[in-house]
Structure 1
Amino acid sequence: MAVLIDPPAWPAHGRLWSHLVSDSSFAELHEFAAANKVPRRGFERDHYDVPADLYDALVTAGAKPVSSRDIVHRLSRAGLRRRKAHAMARREPGAVLLRPRRLQRGDLVAVPATSGVVSAPGLRVGVERLESWGLRVRLDDHVLDRDSRLSYLAAGDDVRAAAFTGAWLDPEASAVIVARGGYGSQRVVDLLDWRRLAEAEPKVLVGFSDATALHQAVAARLGLATVHSHSVTSLGAATTQSAEALRRLLMEPDTVTDLLADRASETVVAGISRGVLVGGNLALLASDVGTPFSRSAAGGIVLLEDTGEAAYRVDRLLTQLLRAGWFAGAKGLVLGAFTGCDDPVELDVVLEDRLAPLGLPMVRHVDVGHTSSSAPMPLGVEAVLDADVGSLMLTRPALV
């Protein structure tokens, strides 16, 4: 077990570079690098890039000189090789995203509160449901906190950011399911160290509503597919059918092909299209435009849902996305539930007036969103929308 370094033979930025690795663990590698003042920003996937002028000092400090071929062999043998195609990294809008591993009985689910104040009874019921699937659950220490100044936030921004970071970097956790929605995730994403998060093993992120900000950020910065579905508290109130659909998607993804199977929908614009699923909560998508975390609908089949928005506000949100060019290059539209909106008839007119002129295959009244019976939707994976028959077929399982 050792820290290894190959000869400085790799040209970049007018200099020659070496690769610094460990054939034991990333923890050993990071500890050695920190002790020798190698900056963390030099880490990429499975190695540090270090300039030639540090080579001798690192060898003196204990790094073992080996060939570049030996570096690759030792990393692969130790199970620490992370190929670029399988690493979390930025990917262009419309690209199929990296799929995390499916969950198995005994896996650990980490639960942070990233948004609004969490109800203890609702959280408890949701946790019991996850445990009934054979999963272990670890709640963040501050999951039931309330911010001392802003009553609608579950703890301060720094506390919630630390909670998400801790959950994502937890080496035992295979999934992060947010405790609830509300508001606050947009205040968190700017505080996260995305380079550090990219060093973790890919894991499943689950949530909806305010978690749309997290879905967008994880897709934009980590290039990782996520799951738009119940938070832990809403899972506790979910119907048996809805909870079972999420369990199957997470634990038996090979059995999930048509995301709209046994679900009603209405054709607005006929046609068939293929694209990568993208979207979520309409208000969050519109308010994300112009930020580094906004991932456009280019090449995508767009999912939209919301709650408590009057028809004119939905009009304003859609108009903002249209004017910003967010829909440019989109392939299809799946309009979910718009619950608690004032006039459903007028709302349908607004949605059709704003979106039908795009000429994309479109279905509406799909049960996805703020309902107890909501269907789970993987984001970042490819699907085929047949608006004529109301099907949304995955081209491969949502999780590996």
Structure 2
Amino acid sequence: MQRGDTVAIVAPSGPPEAVLLGRGVERLEALGLKVTVGAHALDRQELGYLAGSDAARAADLQAAWCDPAVAAVFCCRGGYGAGRLLGLLDWDAMRAAAGRKVLLGSSDITALHNAFAIELGVPTLHGPMPACDLLAGESGPEPLTWESLQAALFGGVMTVPGDRALVPGRAEAVLAGGNLSLLASMCGTRWQPSFEGKIAFLEDVGEEPYRIDRMLTQLLQAGAFEGVRGIALGSWVDCGDPYPVLQDRLEPLGVPVLAGLPVGHGSPQMSVWLGSLGVIDTESCSLSGPLRDEEQAR
């Protein structure tokens, strides 16, 4: 992206708080970006966990993505609801408009990351959202989160530190994945995840270890991990101690597993590109990427 580009903010999942959304707009404008907000972003409906009707949320998302003046579509928050939109989007129109646009979001937006990869074949940005505390907090953005987002948006090469290796090794491949609960929920659908030939990125929040076990088992039995090259594990906020079950379920895959990356629901929340080449290296205990063209050529 460039300073002066237009960002459209939409609400495909839960309803944003107007104050946080306003602050998020101001922070993005301070980066030199032009910001528009979807017509239905502050809608409400009977199901209070959704930001307006499915049709309205899908219309905002599609209109923003298909607008040639928009360089990036930022999802304002997660929660729940993005998966309900997948059957309502005109994927042919979205595909025709894709170009080099950016989709940003995390948590529930994993449904869109996965569907965009399958339907559009474009990289998407897993990162902090403009109506959430890490960007829109009263005292300012969380510094490392803010720095990482700017590097991702404006072309920096990012290195994200982990804090442990569950299985040693190095893997270089396209990064894919996101929130474990969302990935498991897409099994058996048109948008079932596959990590074949990829590095799988996984994180979650508020899930007991046995539930993490259940979701990993579902993905394993669905064949999602067949041919995986490596696994990068992000934050597991309020998940007890997830590492015994993560080791138990993932070590038998026989690929490097790097853990403790500050990506997901914790603070700071580093930004990573999904659908772009990256490297996990347990010796340096880091995830780096996206690789530049000359590195990819090697």
Which range, TM-score by smaller chain?
over 0.9
Runs of 4+ that moved beyond 3 A: none
Residue 388 of structure 1 deviates from its aligned partner by: 2.0
Give CA-to-partner distance per residue, 1:140-164, whole Å, 9 cap, x none: 11111112x2111000100111010
Equivalence for 1:162: 59
Answering whether residue 184 of structure 2 is matched by residue 286 of structure 1, we say yes
Equivalence for 1:242: 145
Give CA-to-partner distance per residue, 1:199-240, whole Å, 9 cap, x none: 114210000000000001110000000000011112224411
The residue type paired with residue 127 of structure 2 is: S
Identity of aligned residues (%): 45
Equivalence for 1:179: 76
Q: 1:121 aligns with which of 13, 19, 41?
A: 19
Q: State the alpha-carbon separation in 2 of the partners of residues 110 and 189 from structure 1.
A: 19
Question: Is this contact kept in 2: 1:111–1:178, CA < 8 A?
Answer: yes
Residue 394 of structure 1 deviates from its aligned partner by: 2.5
The residue type paired with residue 147 of structure 2 is: E
Question: Is this contact kept in 1: 2:98–2:122, CA < 8 A?
Answer: no
The residue type paired with residue 320 of structure 1 is: Q
Q: How does 1:191-340 map to 2 (within 5 A)?
A: 191-202=88-99, 203-234=101-132, 235-237=135-137, 238-251=141-154, 253=155, 255-258=156-159, 260=160, 263-340=161-238
Q: State the alpha-carbon separation in 1 of the partners of residues 87 and 97 from structure 2.
A: 18
Question: Is this contact kept in 2: 1:384–1:393, CA < 8 A?
Answer: yes
Distance 1:395 1:197, change over 3 A: closer
Q: Secondary structure at the match of 1:168?
A: helix
Question: Is this contact kept in 2: 1:178–1:211, CA < 8 A?
Answer: yes
Equivalence for 1:140: 38
Q: State the alpha-carbon separation in 1 of the partners of residues 50 and 179 from structure 2.
A: 19
Q: State the alpha-carbon separation in 2 of the partners of residues 184 and 394 from structure 1.
A: 30
- Aligned length, in residue pairs: 287
Residue ranges of structure 2 left out of the alignment (5+ in a row): 294-298
Q: Secondary structure at the match of 2:190?
A: coil
TM-score (norm 1): 0.70
Deviation larger for 205-214 or 194-203: 194-203
Q: State the alpha-carbon separation in 2 of the partners of residues 392 and 219 from structure 1.
A: 20
Q: State the alpha-carbon separation in 1 of the partners of residues 62 and 86 from structure 2.
A: 10
Residue 257 of structure 1 deviates from its aligned partner by: 4.3
Question: Is this contact kept in 2: 1:219–1:295, CA < 8 A?
Answer: no
Q: 1:376 aligns with which of 271, 277, 294?
A: 271
Q: Alignment RMSD, CA only? A: 1.4
TM-score (norm 2): 0.93
Question: Is this contact kept in 1: 2:14–2:49, CA < 8 A?
Answer: yes
Give CA-to-partner distance per residue, 1:149-204, whole Å, 9 cap, x none: 21110001001110101111112100000011000000001100000111114210
Distance 1:312 1:330, change over 3 A: same
Deviation larger for 383-392 or 370-379: 383-392
The answer to which structure, 1 or 2, has the higher relative contact order (CA under 8 A, 6+ apart) is 2
Q: State the alpha-carbon separation in 2 of the partners of residues 142 and 174 from structure 1.
A: 20
Residue 307 of structure 1 deviates from its aligned partner by: 0.6
Equivalence for 1:89: none
Residue ranges of structure 1 left out of the alignment (5+ in a row): 1-102
Question: Is this contact kept in 1: 2:151–2:158, CA < 8 A?
Answer: no
Q: Secondary structure at the match of 2:131?
A: helix
Give CA-to-partner distance per residue, 1:364-400, whole Å, 9 cap, x none: 11111012311111001111211122122326249xx
Q: Secondary structure at the match of 1:316?
A: helix
The residue type paired with residue 113 of structure 1 is: A
Q: State the alpha-carbon separation in 2 of the partners of residues 331 and 303 from structure 1.
A: 11
Equivalence for 1:188: 85
Q: State the alpha-carbon separation in 2 of the partners of residues 387 and 145 from structure 1.
A: 45
The residue type paired with residue 89 of structure 2 is: L
Whose radius of gyration is greater, 1 or 2?
A: 1
Q: 2:246 aligns with which of 351, 364, 373?
A: 351
Equivalence for 1:392: 287
Q: Secondary structure at the match of 1:109?
A: strand
Q: Secondary structure at the match of 2:201?
A: strand
The residue type paired with residue 394 of structure 1 is: G
